[in-house]
Amino acid sequence: MTVAISSGHGLHVPGARGLIDEVTEARRVTDRVSAILRDTGVRVNAFHENTARNQRDNVNAIVRHHNNLQRDIDVSVHFNSVAGGTRDAGIGTEVMYRTGNATTRPVASRVARAIAGASGLILRRGDGTFPSTAIGFLNNTNISCAILIEVCFVNSHTDVRLYQAHFEAICYAIASAIIGRAISPPAVAPITPDLPPMNDTAAYEEDDMTQAKFNIMFDIAMNAYLAGVATRNQAPNDFNNAVNRGLISDVRQDEPVNRHALGAFGNRLVEAVLRETNAK
């Protein structure tokens, strides 16, 4: 099987912008899904459009690229947005598909359900699929199976939080659903970070670090690292940004948290994770 996958919009043709930027995130998802598929032996052609200066040229270039390939499925990766600014409520994921071929809708449905199952994103419109008649990519690519994934909404806090927390699982879900068989992430050896004792108030500046908080934060740090969000140099910043964006709201629901203490803890935690991972 050969998969042709591309990110929506282009380097000079912006997509939706909100809490996250559609073009940036569509490229991340496209690249990660491609890498997962390649690792499992599937032939993949991944494409990002980098030269067009307007929407029409951009869509035409993407379609032209796909149509020049031998492939079994065309996939376009997008993020959606709604009018009216940012909101807390989740809006969800959905996958549009080309009509006129009976095999395409089940593929769209499989991808949408996989994303929802991996992340907790809502299936928009009930089943997460939508037949499209007005999307250039779906109308003009010239094989029967074409889908356009709207991973989530860039202006929903809930959607963005779920997307960021489950990035890796979402990419595995998309890759698996595209080819119709499960791909499991490689097993990761358990990591015991080299951290000061949890009751070391000097190390953490404040003795409010319960085991529950530790577990949640460690998971976030590990997910960020495994998803490639965290690199050696930017990990502490990423972690602090995650704290400030409310990605650890699970913690805050229980009790007030001193952000400064969390930030200091986050730095130490991520450093420890990276140290442990790199040592292996």
Token pair of 43 as six digits: 């032939």
Q: Which residue has the tokens 């080299």?
A: 194
Is the Cβ of residue 137 or residue 265 nearer to Zn ion in the bound state?
137
Is the Cβ of residue 93 or residue 176 nearer to Zn ion in the bound state?
93
**227, 185 contact by CB (below 8 A):** no
Segment lying near Zn ion (by CB under 5 A), choices 77-85, 103-111, 182-190, 234-242? 77-85
78 binds Zn ion (CB under 5 A): yes
Q: How far apart are CA 105 and CA 95, in angstroms?
A: 9
266 binds Zn ion (CB under 5 A): no
Q: In sequence order, what are the residues at sequence separation of 6 or more whose Cβ sits closer than 8 angstroms to the Cβ of residue 187?
A: none
Is the Cβ of residue 19 or residue 198 nearer to Zn ion in the bound state?
19
Binding to Zn ion in span 6-35, by CB under 5 A? 8, 15
Segment lying near Zn ion (by CB under 5 A), choices 3-11, 84-92, 151-159, 195-203? 3-11
Q: How far is the CB of 49 from Zn ion (least distance, A)?
A: 12
Q: How far apart are CA 155 and CA 159, in angstroms?
A: 8
Is the Cβ of residue 36 or residue 154 nearer to Zn ion in the bound state?
154
Beta strand residue intervals within 56-154, DSSP E? 73-80, 94-98, 129-132, 146-153
Provide Rg for the chain, Cα atoms. 20
Is the Cβ of residue 59 or residue 162 nearer to Zn ion in the bound state?
59
Q: Which residues of this chain interact with Zn ion, rule CB under 5 A? A: 8, 15, 78
